[in-house]
Chain A
Amino acid sequence: MSDDSREYVLEMVGVSKSFPGVHALDGVSLRVRPGKVHALMGENGAGKSTLMKCLFGIYREDAGEITLKGEKVKFHSAKDALEAGVSMIHQELSNVPERSVRENIWLGREPLRRIGPMGFLDHKKMHEDTTVLMKSLDMEIDPAERMGGLSISKQQACEIAKAVSYNASVVVMDEPSSSLTETETAHLFKIIRDLTSKGVAVIYISHKMSEIFQVADEVSIMRDGRMIGTFPVADIDEDRLIKLMVGRDNTHRFPPVESTPGPIRLEIRDLTSANPRSFKNVSFELRQGEILGIGGLVGAQRTELVEAIFGLRRLASGEILVDGEKAEIRTPRDAIARGIAFITEDRRGSGIFPLLSITMNTAIASLDSYVSPALLLEHKRIEAESRKLNEALRTKTPSMSTLIQNLSGGNQQKVLVSRWLMTLPDILIMDEPTRGIDVGAKFEIYTLMADLAKNGKSIIMVSSEMPELIGMSHRVMVLCAGRHTGTLEKAQATQESIMRLATQFE
């Protein structure tokens, strides 16, 4: 390393990657200096993760070059990268909780003591090496402790230690502070400074504005699969950063939302999740015929909030009022009985029944209303009603008995909307209603939402797409790290104002 006077330790030049129908990365270049913290910022879907996946060989880039310490490299797996000195700390911890700290750190490359042809684990060496490692990083963690017994921040520290133990020259951290408290984050920053003082380069992916200014030396901004620019942090301010992150034309089109919000239908008072790392003290109200957008970045706990309102997650405190009346919602069944419907963000995971017909997929949440006095299902009525709904929504399908898995994403989504309309709801919660749907089908879903609002339904729309939030909502409510940081009226809702609230970390 003595002759290492190179300006950059890692260079990714002209990296492009496309998936069917999407240009995920378009000639992106990223140059990282040794001993510096390089922040990587961008909206959800800007291409940050894709870029890192190309670095680690999880995706194979279509074009571009990666140079590490002056040598061209091509990793085929995270293990290749690790051995070359590039490691990644993931947002979700990836340790083995039931094993000790030292076993986790040396996992897959345990020191062995040879006795003849046999190798046995050298626990003593493992322990000593771990102790030395921890000392060199100023971490106070007992190598013998069970990993799962440590706090989240200490577990993360262990992952960083593990990365260092590979003599990493580049450490990528993907939203490392998303599940940390303030003091834990401060400790993380101290570890990061220690790392950089040893000449390690850190690529720090985060959504939180304040952190960037605290910890980063340089910042690169990505948007829509392109690299917008790299700036020394000292030369840039928050306003400029936000503008660079969101500054694009509104390429999507939206139908006019013509309804005027009426009386309050749903009131949420001081809702706090039973999970201490999730949302806290959220209050809002939803009016008849209103579309309320809920915005925020990854980790803002938007989905958790709406799932809790629908009875899928436990609450610690707070009240839910439907039409002014306190509603005890413990299960989805209770919520459905109160006229609430919920279209989940994960269509495959918690939406469709892939091997059931469109008819049954539509009717499944409302079968109670289609049971004859003899307790048999009234198949004719079920079929007629679900056909009527799907025709109204223009679901494209060969027949009503087609299995839903054979439809496109947009058409599956229409079937799910039909499912919930069949329950005759007053309030529809739609979590990422247009995720994974092509542009044409998106417009149809938007039109449908506008029509529903016009007919007096109230809609909560959770969305990660800024234009969608701005184009469709009467009001946009923004969460950041589980807190309600503000609500914007349609006139004030701009990408900049939303992004400001979404990055306002306390």
Chain B
Amino acid sequence: MAANNAAGTLEARKGFRAFISKNTNLVTFITLAVGLGLLTSGRSFEWPSVRNLMIAESVRAFAALGVGMIIITRGIDLSIGYVVCLVASVAASFAQTPDYTAALYPGIDFPLWLPLMAGVVTGGIFGLFNGVLIAYGKLPAFIATLGTMSIARGAQLIYTRAAVVGSLKDSYKVISQGSLGPIPNLAIYVAIACVFIWILLRHTKRGTNFYAIGGNSMAARVSGINVERETVVVYTYAGLLYGIAGCLLAGRLGLANALTANGMELDAIAAVTVGGISQTGGVGTMSGMIIGVLTLGIINYGMTYLGVDSYYQLLVKGFIIIVAVWFDMKKYARRA
């Protein structure tokens, strides 16, 4: 009887260990959340805190979902921050109040769909451009997106004449700032995007192709996958997601300027890496990306709560990325 019991616990312990090693990202998140809960004597679990976290992280979540898919195909995208910044500026320019004299298009009241459309299309075009450069131009993703990053930055400054695009219409701001009952709109948009990405990655041929290309692009080619086309597609999808992120960000902030979304590529790449999307390609899930975003969000929130200077927060973020990639490499790289 006793032996049986011991075997049972052993089995359970083994299962527990397997669960942890399989869900490191989730375990890390829960540990941090509980830790923060204890530090704040439960305040971080109260609805207003949770709500704030959701609002703060939702724009980043779109960027993370985009770059997460790119990393699954073993690519990278450094253009995120400035593309989102450009998108936000473009969207904002079509959503300014018509009687605002410093508006980019003063006196014109554009329909509400135009800023959204313009923003998403801008993001999509940049994604498409990245994809074509990488897939057909055979540029290393690192360099191609470094180039488009600068292009996006320049375009933003030219388009806005380096000025703040402010005074957005309430009807536009409410898209981001409103809520459905207690749940902020932004969180709902993220949830919808998550469902789409989950279906894409789990239940479509295209998603499987992404994993295949990231896992072994030569084998993917031999298996009849059009590697170039799929690469263009993944960067374009990511661009569209950055487009959504930019539109929502402009609405949330009520303005856009040259500093909007600066460094978002770092945040997004860090988040998905923490969430278990391996830099070696071919590994990662939608839920991992979101867990990564929330984990970084909690760390930011915690540091702010503990009164850590925002300069130190950058420092900590840098170390987190390095540690996350280090573990990632230990886990997967030895097989290479």
Contact residues of A with B, CB < 8 Å?
310, 312, 331-333, 335-336, 342, 344, 349-356, 360, 364-365, 367-368, 371, 375-377, 379, 405, 419
Q: Which 4 A-B pairs have the closest CB atoms?
A: A353-B215, A350-B218, A365-B223, A333-B224
A352–B335 alpha-carbon span in the complex (Å): 13
A371 CB contacts on chain B under 8 angstroms: 204-205
> Can you list 12 contacts pairing A with B, beta carbon distance less than 8 Å?
A310-B222, A312-B221, A332-B222, A333-B224, A342-B222, A353-B212, A356-B211, A368-B205, A375-B205, A377-B203, A377-B204, A419-B223
The verdict on A365 contacting B224 (CB below 8 Å), with A354-B335, A371-B205 known, is yes
A351 CB contacts on chain B under 8 angstroms: 216, 219, 222
Name B211's closest neighbour in chain A (CB-CB). Answer: A356
* Residues 313-336 of chain B, each 1 if its beta carbon lies under 8 Å from chain A, else 0: 000000000000000000010010
B104: CB under 8 A from chain A? no
Establish whether residues B223 and A332, one from each chain, have CB atoms under 8 Å apart when the complex forms: yes
Establish whether residues A375 and B335, one from each chain, have CB atoms under 8 Å apart when the complex forms: no
Name A349's closest neighbour in chain B (CB-CB). Answer: B218
B226: CB under 8 A from chain A? yes
Contact residues of B with A, CB < 8 Å?
199, 203-205, 208, 211-212, 215-216, 218-226, 282-283, 332, 335
Establish whether residues A377 and B215, one from each chain, have CB atoms under 8 Å apart when the complex forms: no
Establish whether residues A375 and B215, one from each chain, have CB atoms under 8 Å apart when the complex forms: no
A312 CB contacts on chain B under 8 angstroms: 221-222
Looking at the assembled complex, report how far the CB atom of B122 sits from the nearest CB atom of chain A, in whole angstroms. 27
Establish whether residues B219 and A332, one from each chain, have CB atoms under 8 Å apart when the complex forms: no
The verdict on A352 contacting B219 (CB below 8 Å), with A333-B224, A365-B224 known, is yes
Establish whether residues A376 and B199, one from each chain, have CB atoms under 8 Å apart when the complex forms: yes
Establish whether residues B222 and A353, one from each chain, have CB atoms under 8 Å apart when the complex forms: no
Establish whether residues B221 and A332, one from each chain, have CB atoms under 8 Å apart when the complex forms: yes
B203 CB contacts on chain A under 8 angstroms: 376-377, 379
B199 CB contacts on chain A under 8 angstroms: 376
Name B282's closest neighbour in chain A (CB-CB). Answer: A355
Establish whether residues B224 and A350, one from each chain, have CB atoms under 8 Å apart when the complex forms: no
A403–B283 alpha-carbon span in the complex (Å): 12
Looking at the assembled complex, report how far the CB atom of B285 sits from the nearest CB atom of chain A, in whole angstroms. 12
A439–B258 alpha-carbon span in the complex (Å): 66
A380–B244 alpha-carbon span in the complex (Å): 34
Looking at the assembled complex, report how far the CB atom of A363 sits from the nearest CB atom of chain B, in whole angstroms. 8
Looking at the assembled complex, report how far the CB atom of B202 sits from the nearest CB atom of chain A, in whole angstroms. 8
The verdict on A360 contacting B208 (CB below 8 Å), with A332-B223, A350-B222 known, is yes
Name A370's closest neighbour in chain B (CB-CB). Answer: B205
A336 CB contacts on chain B under 8 angstroms: 224
Establish whether residues B216 and A332, one from each chain, have CB atoms under 8 Å apart when the complex forms: no
Looking at the assembled complex, report how far the CB atom of A170 sits from the nearest CB atom of chain B, in whole angstroms. 36
Establish whether residues A353 and B224, one from each chain, have CB atoms under 8 Å apart when the complex forms: no
Establish whether residues B222 and A356, one from each chain, have CB atoms under 8 Å apart when the complex forms: no
B335 CB contacts on chain A under 8 angstroms: 354, 405
Looking at the assembled complex, report how far the CB atom of A351 sits from the nearest CB atom of chain B, in whole angstroms. 6
A367 CB contacts on chain B under 8 angstroms: 205, 208
A282–B127 alpha-carbon span in the complex (Å): 44
The verdict on A364 contacting B283 (CB below 8 Å), with A332-B221, A344-B222 known, is no
Chain B, interface SS category:
helix
Name A376's closest neighbour in chain B (CB-CB). Answer: B203
Name A350's closest neighbour in chain B (CB-CB). Answer: B218
The verdict on A353 contacting B282 (CB below 8 Å), with A375-B204, A377-B205 known, is yes
A333: contacting residue among B211, B212, B226, B282, CB under 8 A: B226
B205 CB contacts on chain A under 8 angstroms: 367-368, 371, 375, 377
Establish whether residues A355 and B221, one from each chain, have CB atoms under 8 Å apart when the complex forms: no
A164–B87 alpha-carbon span in the complex (Å): 63
A342 CB contacts on chain B under 8 angstroms: 222
A109–B226 alpha-carbon span in the complex (Å): 47
A349–B221 alpha-carbon span in the complex (Å): 12
Name A343's closest neighbour in chain B (CB-CB). Answer: B222
Looking at the assembled complex, report how far the CB atom of A470 sits from the nearest CB atom of chain B, in whole angstroms. 28
A419 CB contacts on chain B under 8 angstroms: 223
Establish whether residues B218 and A356, one from each chain, have CB atoms under 8 Å apart when the complex forms: no
A215–B208 alpha-carbon span in the complex (Å): 55
Given contact pairs A331-B224, A353-B282, A355-B215, a sample of 16 additional A-B residue pairs in the complex whose CB atoms are under 8 Å apart: A312-B222, A332-B221, A333-B224, A335-B224, A336-B224, A351-B222, A352-B219, A353-B219, A355-B211, A360-B211, A364-B212, A368-B205, A375-B204, A377-B205, A379-B203, A419-B223
A379 CB contacts on chain B under 8 angstroms: 203
B224 CB contacts on chain A under 8 angstroms: 331-333, 335-336, 365
B216: contacting residue among A310, A333, A335, A354, CB under 8 A: A354
B208 CB contacts on chain A under 8 angstroms: 360, 364, 367, 377
Looking at the assembled complex, report how far the CB atom of A200 sits from the nearest CB atom of chain B, in whole angstroms. 40
Establish whether residues B222 and A354, one from each chain, have CB atoms under 8 Å apart when the complex forms: no
B226 CB contacts on chain A under 8 angstroms: 331, 333
Establish whether residues A350 and B216, one from each chain, have CB atoms under 8 Å apart when the complex forms: yes
A419–B216 alpha-carbon span in the complex (Å): 15
Name B223's closest neighbour in chain A (CB-CB). Answer: A365
A356: contacting residue among B204, B225, B282, CB under 8 A: B282
A333 CB contacts on chain B under 8 angstroms: 224-226
A376–B220 alpha-carbon span in the complex (Å): 20
A360–B203 alpha-carbon span in the complex (Å): 12
Looking at the assembled complex, report how far the CB atom of B298 sits from the nearest CB atom of chain A, in whole angstroms. 28
Looking at the assembled complex, report how far the CB atom of A36 sits from the nearest CB atom of chain B, in whole angstroms. 44
Looking at the assembled complex, report how far the CB atom of A344 sits from the nearest CB atom of chain B, in whole angstroms. 6
Establish whether residues A376 and B282, one from each chain, have CB atoms under 8 Å apart when the complex forms: no
B219: contacting residue among A310, A350, A375, A376, CB under 8 A: A350
Looking at the assembled complex, report how far the CB atom of A364 sits from the nearest CB atom of chain B, in whole angstroms. 5
A263–B335 alpha-carbon span in the complex (Å): 45
A350–B282 alpha-carbon span in the complex (Å): 15
A336–B225 alpha-carbon span in the complex (Å): 11
The verdict on A352 contacting B216 (CB below 8 Å), with A364-B208, A375-B204 known, is yes
A371–B204 alpha-carbon span in the complex (Å): 8
A353–B220 alpha-carbon span in the complex (Å): 8
A332 CB contacts on chain B under 8 angstroms: 221-224
Establish whether residues B223 and A355, one from each chain, have CB atoms under 8 Å apart when the complex forms: no
Looking at the assembled complex, report how far the CB atom of B231 sits from the nearest CB atom of chain A, in whole angstroms. 15
Looking at the assembled complex, report how far the CB atom of B58 sits from the nearest CB atom of chain A, in whole angstroms. 27
Name B206's closest neighbour in chain A (CB-CB). Answer: A375
Looking at the assembled complex, report how far the CB atom of B19 sits from the nearest CB atom of chain A, in whole angstroms. 16
- The residue among A333, A344, A350, A368 with the most chain B CB atoms within 10 A of its own CB is A350
A353 CB contacts on chain B under 8 angstroms: 211-212, 215-216, 219-220, 282
- The residue among B212, B219, B221, B222 with the most chain A CB atoms within 10 A of its own CB is B222
- The residue among B203, B211, B219 with the most chain A CB atoms within 10 A of its own CB is B219
A354: contacting residue among B204, B215, B218, B225, CB under 8 A: B215
A18–B225 alpha-carbon span in the complex (Å): 40
B282 CB contacts on chain A under 8 angstroms: 353-356
Name A374's closest neighbour in chain B (CB-CB). Answer: B203
Looking at the assembled complex, report how far the CB atom of A65 sits from the nearest CB atom of chain B, in whole angstroms. 36
A356–B223 alpha-carbon span in the complex (Å): 14
A349–B335 alpha-carbon span in the complex (Å): 12
A112–B222 alpha-carbon span in the complex (Å): 50
Name B221's closest neighbour in chain A (CB-CB). Answer: A332
Establish whether residues B204 and A376, one from each chain, have CB atoms under 8 Å apart when the complex forms: yes
Looking at the assembled complex, report how far the CB atom of B48 sits from the nearest CB atom of chain A, in whole angstroms. 39
Name B213's closest neighbour in chain A (CB-CB). Answer: A353
B216 CB contacts on chain A under 8 angstroms: 349-354
Establish whether residues A356 and B215, one from each chain, have CB atoms under 8 Å apart when the complex forms: yes
Name A364's closest neighbour in chain B (CB-CB). Answer: B223
Looking at the assembled complex, report how far the CB atom of B2 sits from the nearest CB atom of chain A, in whole angstroms. 30
